[in-house]
């Protein structure tokens, strides 16, 4: 199983960071390549919430499979009922927030999954996946702290 992980410090109090993270509509502001986001019927936050994120060439469904109020969440990555996107056999993305004093919060992101191609696939793709997770973390930090969209692909619809 591959785990591409990145962590950094947000210059935000924990409650402010959680208020942003729990709003699942904000991902296109910081995830590179996303052009929009729509929610599936049902809850918009908490366990069972599900969204479709749009990209220039397709979409990805993300469903909340774990939710810890004030602490973080896990999204299962899939394409409708077809399962996870290539190159994954299964994939999830974890967001975690940890207080770091009164005015700062540690953000921990990880992309976890089983890749097609086994260990060779992991060896070939691990670096690129780690860079992607790091870019998401850096963009999320900038967006959360400034409110300015960090993703050039998103026009703010």
pLDDT of residue 1: 78
* pLDDT tens, residue by residue, 110-131: 999 887 776 766 667 778 889 9
Q: Strands of 50-55's sheet, edge to edge? A: 2-10, 105-115, 88-99, 72-78, 58-68, 50-55, 34-39
How many domains are contained in the chain? 1
Domain that holds residue 76: 2-146
CATH of the domain at 23: 3.30.530.20
pLDDT of residue 128: 86
pTM of the entire predicted model: 0.93
Distance in angstroms (rounded) separating the CA atoms of residues 157 and 149: 12
Residue 121 in domain:
yes
Residue 153 in domain:
no
> Of 92, 133, 149, nearest to 7 (Cα)?
133
């Amino acid at each position: 199983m591959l785990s591409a992980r990145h962590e950094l410090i947000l210059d935000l109090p924990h409650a402010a960071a959680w208020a942003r993270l729990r709003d699942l509509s904000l991902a296109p502001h910081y995830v590179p390549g996303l052009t929009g986001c729509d929610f599936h019927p049902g809850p918009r936050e908490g366990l069972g919430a599900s969204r479709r994120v749009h990209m220039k060439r397709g979409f990805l469904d993300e469903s909340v499979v774990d939710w810890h109020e004030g602490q973080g969440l896990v999204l299962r990555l899939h394409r409708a009922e077809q399962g996870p996107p290539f190159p994954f056999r299964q994939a999830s993305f974890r967001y975690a927030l940890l207080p770091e004093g009164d005015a700062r919060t540690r953000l921990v992101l990880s992309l976890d999954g089983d890749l097609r191609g086994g260990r060779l696939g992991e060896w070939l793709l691990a670096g690129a996946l780690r860079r992607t997770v790091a870019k998401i973390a850096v963009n999320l930090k900038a967006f959360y702290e400034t409110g300015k969209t960090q993703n050039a692909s998103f026009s703010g619809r």
